[in-house]
Chain A
Amino acid sequence: MTDTVKIKIDGIEVKLEKNASILDAAKQLNIKIPTLCHHEDLCVAGNCRVCVVEQEGVHNLVPSCSTPALDGMIIHTMTPKVRKARKDLIALLVSEHNTQCTTCYRSKNCELQDLAAEYNIDNEVYLSVLKPSKVDRSSWSIEKDDSKCIRCQRCVRTCAELQHVNALDVAYRGKDMKISTFMDLHMNEVVCVNCGQCIIHCPTGALTERRYYDNIWDAIGDPKKHVIINTAPSVRVALGETLGFPVGTRVTKKMVTALKKIGFDAVLDTDFAADVTILEEGHELLHRLKRVFVDKEKVSLPMITSCSPGWVKFIEHMYPNYLSHLSTCKSPQQMFGALAKTYYAKKKGIDPKDIVSVAGMPCSAKKYEANRPEMKSSGYNDVDAGLTTREIGHMIKETGVDFLSLEETEFDSLMGESSGAGVIFGATGGVMEAALRTVYEVVTGREVPFKNLNITPVRGLKGVKEATIKIENCVPAFSFLEGVELKIAIAHGLINARIVMDQVEKGTSPYHFIEIMACPGGCIGGGGQPIPTNCEIRQKRIDAIYEEDANMPVRKSHEVKEVQELYRDFLKEPLGQKSHHLLHTKYTKRNRY
């Protein structure tokens, strides 16, 4: 038996690995076969049927996504029979669809709309079988509009296969079949962690983020308000995609210009808060290690990062008895918010009640996080609105600025300066790398022993990564760590979080410190990022993140001047009283339904 097969598609012979599908074969030949239910990240469903092709010797058409290529197959992808069937299938989907495309958030970024246009679908052919439904806006993060659902089940597979949350599933059958939640409950009442992976895997406008930018326009128009925005590291490497740049383009400084043009009073950098996070979280880790090694106390180890609000809600639902493992640090967004209405307000002499603090995020869970009841430590809503990369793209388009030709501007100050360590928060492994750059130096007085500070073992798209760093020649204060092999792990995508958490639950986790990000690839693959997002795109955004890091004059969080100033003038010290009040938080046990 050979490991390759040969098939013929549209007259061209192609050699394939065994178990490849007809669709894989077509891709290899650059033959485009339309798909809807298919997504590179997910298992094959074969339920939309638009990818059907003709196989010689078989009467019925075969779905190219789920049909394995067998030696000697002869396939035709564009016969009249195929074309007619495809067109009919698309027309059927349109007949079940809310075709108010003009008012749809996903208009011009919709796979069904594209196909309907390509195949010139006549909406008069079939009667509408659209069911009346109500848009579910119960969640802070996710909007679910069944009238735009094509039942491809990509969201269901995402929620199960990538995230292992299973908040969405198929309910009912026949004409009533729909995507729903446990007991048809509202989205805010189920285990949904708001990660938004369903949104970026949805081909249409059925699942979108809750949009808040209209409120921001109002605030910007209000002369009494001081509207500031901080943008997360992953936004700058992905925003360009929504505005005509190729995937992986860094548009940091153009973005700042555009946001200024929109009317934000100050454009600041979430990376600043990421650097603060590193100082707080790094010291928290050292504090925990000290209590274990010196005071011989029972302290929860491994410590796990808490930057990703999707992950935080996941652990609250799925492992509620292990919340003590979470770092008490707020995420950079929330640290930024709390500091904006205290430190920033004080330094700038602005009444915090007049500050509108906006966060530009690659994330839908950040919207929920901003609205958590405990996130009011400044005395106000620390963050007034979390916007996704896509929403920011929309705002920029709405102003009509020509993004491609914009000049470049630096972030404003205060809280606009940051390090490369803050930037790499956007990629899986980044928080770990940033923390190590600082922690290692605090403990040993030397830089981490990696070329150009690039801790490559923690980088990359492997689901769970692990590394060990031996600590030697410590400074006296940390002599208790002499010779300790610091064991770390990184997981991204909640299915991988399960793997490391199951170890924690069993008591077999060998690690001291774990970084977990809810979304595959980390924030660059977040639920608020441009659509499409897939493996190739994630990699390009990650490359851009590390490029950005490499080009930063400061690469370590503790060396950022504004951060040093913050501690000197305001917080005094990491884990101090003020930090504790403003930058740390607590978590809530939740159940699974």
Chain B
Amino acid sequence: MQSKLKRVDFIFSSNEESKKVLLKTFRKTREEILDELITSRLKGRGGAGFSTGMKWKFAKSEVADQKYIICNADEGEPGTFKDRKILDKALFKVLGGMAIAGKVVGANKGFIYLRGEYKFLVPQLKEGISDFHKLLKNELDFDFNIEIFLGSGSYICGEETALIESMEGKRGEPRNKPPFPTQYGYLGKPTVVNNVETLALVMMVCQVEAENFKKLGIHDSTGSKLFSISGDTPKSGIYELEFGMSLIDFVEEFGDGDTKSVQVGGASGFCVPRKKFETTTIGYKEDLDGDSLPTGGSMMLFNSSRSMYNVLHNYLEFFTNESCGQCTPCRIGCQQLLKGIKAIKRGDKSEEYLKQLLELTDTMKLTSKCGLGQSVANSFSSIVENFREEMIY
């Protein structure tokens, strides 16, 4: 059967081509590059999907003696493992994206915030960065220095303000926003924090140009996207696909024939049951009929042998441990959800209690300080509402 998914081969394509792209891009003005990026409608690939061009624009407009570019490589979302491969196989594109960001924003210092567990990548990253520094100096005469900062294993440090706090030697706890990092970031200076894949895709926009980039994908979900595919699938791994695919097409290609649900976007994402595969699109919301789900690229498939109660229990345990603990709704809310579903399962609480817990997720969504606490509701409500009987019996 012919696949309905369109494979894209950019990120892992030849780095030689990328070098030419970088040289070409550096001949453009900051404004030209920024225009191109905004026109491309490239959105951050970490999961939240904020416009990359706008983020750069905000940072560019700030007046400061020092600005920073940070590459967020604290890949910690359960089921996501694409950034590791990008750093391993396509480092040049990431560094290129950082240098371009540096040029546009007016920063001469960059950091790669590397997930602690990816320490084994450090020697090769250092080598790559060293070569890259030479290239910047010799061929572009551009002063931009990149350093590696190793994280310490906390999930929350993937949140950009917690990441910055951690870099400053403090507890990795999200900050109050506003101010945003583009105004007040690392050491109080304007800072752009971009995901690894986003930075690599900046090179794609520069290579194929915005109009061609936009031809890939749909509506506001332009370009390609790397998917980390895991679970009950015969073809687990990393795939670069055109953004905006239909979930039914995806399951047809990657499912094992018995797919019961797909968790889109990791533990903080949404669970889509079989009956909604056809109406669900993987991409951003605007102008789409049916459900549309953004994702950082994690796609976990579950077949009928899996207990969705166990899946949810696993996620909640994860959040209970990985919440930074500073704000009330997230710290206590996660514990209540976990304790609550256990009590219902045991029969200590009636099934009516699920309603109370769903209301609690509303509060968590409305009042949590950062995306972690706000997004626990996603997996909880989508699993509980679609697999209610599995929670109770």
Contact = CB atoms under 8 A, between A and B. Distances in A.
Interface of A: 44-50, 52, 59-61, 63, 66-68, 81, 84-85, 88-89, 92-93, 95-96, 125-127, 129, 150-151, 153, 170, 172-177
A44 B175 CA distance: 11
Nearest to A127: B339
A58 to B, nearest CB: 10
Given A170-B326, A174-B331, A175-B334, A88 B360 contact: yes
A514 B366 CA distance: 51
Given A44-B176, A89-B328, A151-B331, A129 B363 contact: no
Interface in B330-349: 331-336, 339-340, 343, 349
A459 B107 CA distance: 48
Nearest to A50: B328
B325 A174 contact: yes
B329 A151 contact: no
Contact of B323 (A48, A89, A93, A173): A173
Contact of B328 (A47, A175, A176): A47
B367 to A, nearest CB: 5
- Smallest CB-CB A-B distances: 3 pairs: A177-B325, A66-B176, A92-B332
Contacts of A125: 356
Contact of B326 (A81, A89, A153): A153
A93 B367 contact: no
Nearest to B171: A170
Given A47-B369, A89-B363, A127 B340 contact: yes
Interface in B153-176: 154, 156, 171, 173, 176
B325 A92 contact: no
Nearest to A59: B366
A96 B171 CA distance: 22
A46 B369 contact: yes
A60 B367 contact: yes
Contacts of B336: 92, 95, 126-127, 129
Chain A at the B interface: SS class: loop
5 contacts: A49-B328, A52-B366, A89-B363, A129-B336, A176-B325
A47 B326 contact: yes
Contacts of B325: 151, 170, 172-177
Contacts of A173: 154, 156, 321-325
Contact of B332 (A52, A81, A96): A96
Contacts of A170: 171, 173, 325-326
A239 B114 CA distance: 56
B367 A174 contact: no
A89 B328 CA distance: 7
Given A174-B324, A176-B321, 7 more contacts: A49-B328, A60-B367, A60-B374, A85-B363, A129-B332, A150-B328, A170-B325
A89 B329 CA distance: 6
Contacts of A88: 329, 359-360, 363
Contacts of B322: 173-174
B123 interface: no
A129 B366 contact: no
A62 to B, nearest CB: 9
Nearest to A150: B328
Contacts of A48: 327-328
B329 A49 contact: yes
B331 A89 contact: no
Contacts, number: 112
A177 B331 contact: yes
Contacts of B326: 45, 47, 151, 153, 170, 177
B285 to A, nearest CB: 13
Contact of B327 (A49, A60, A172): A49
A503 to B, nearest CB: 27
A85 B178 CA distance: 21
B292 interface: no
A153 B339 CA distance: 25
Contacts of B374: 60
A65 to B, nearest CB: 9
B327 A174 contact: no
Contacts of B360: 88, 92
Chain B at the A interface: SS class: helix
Contacts of A89: 328-329, 363, 367
Contacts of B331: 96, 151, 174-175, 177
A81 B367 CA distance: 11
Nearest to B338: A175
A80 to B, nearest CB: 12
Query: Which of A50, A66, A151, A175: most chain B CB closer than 10 A?
Result: A175
Query: Which of B171, B326, B339: most chain A CB closer than 10 A?
Result: B326
A61 B339 CA distance: 26
Contacts of A95: 332, 336
Contact of A175 (B171, B335, B356, B359): B335
B365 interface: yes
Contacts of B154: 173
B340 A93 contact: no
B320 interface: yes
A482 B194 CA distance: 69
Contacts of B327: 46-49
A49 B356 contact: no
A96 B339 CA distance: 12
Nearest to B348: A127
Contacts of B332: 92-93, 95-96, 129
Interface in B362-393: 363, 365-369, 374
Contacts of B176: 44, 46, 63, 66-67
A465 to B, nearest CB: 30
A129 B335 contact: yes
A52 B367 contact: yes
A177 B334 CA distance: 13
Given A49-B369, A61-B367, A84-B363, A92 B323 contact: no
Nearest to B332: A92
Contacts of B329: 49, 88-89, 92
B365 A129 contact: no
Nearest to B374: A60
A150 B325 CA distance: 11
A66 B370 CA distance: 13
Contacts of B339: 127, 129
A92 B333 contact: yes
Query: Which of B173, B176, B322, B323: most chain A CB closer than 10 A?
Result: B176
B298 to A, nearest CB: 21
Contacts of B367: 49, 52, 60-61, 63, 85, 89
Contacts of A150: 328
A354 B324 CA distance: 55
Interface in B62-88: none
Query: Which of B178, B335, B366, B369: most chain A CB closer than 10 A?
Result: B366
Contacts of A50: 328
Given A47-B328, A93-B328, A125-B356, A174 B334 contact: yes
A149 to B, nearest CB: 12
Nearest to A81: B366
B330 to A, nearest CB: 9
Contact of A61 (B173, B319, B323, B366): B366
Query: Which of A60, A84, A173, A176: most chain B CB closer than 10 A?
Result: A173
A182 B339 CA distance: 31
B375 to A, nearest CB: 12
Contacts of A49: 327-329, 367-369
B168 to A, nearest CB: 15
A148 to B, nearest CB: 15
Interface string B16-45: 000000000000000000000000000000
Query: Which of B334, B359, B367: most chain A CB closer than 10 A?
Result: B367
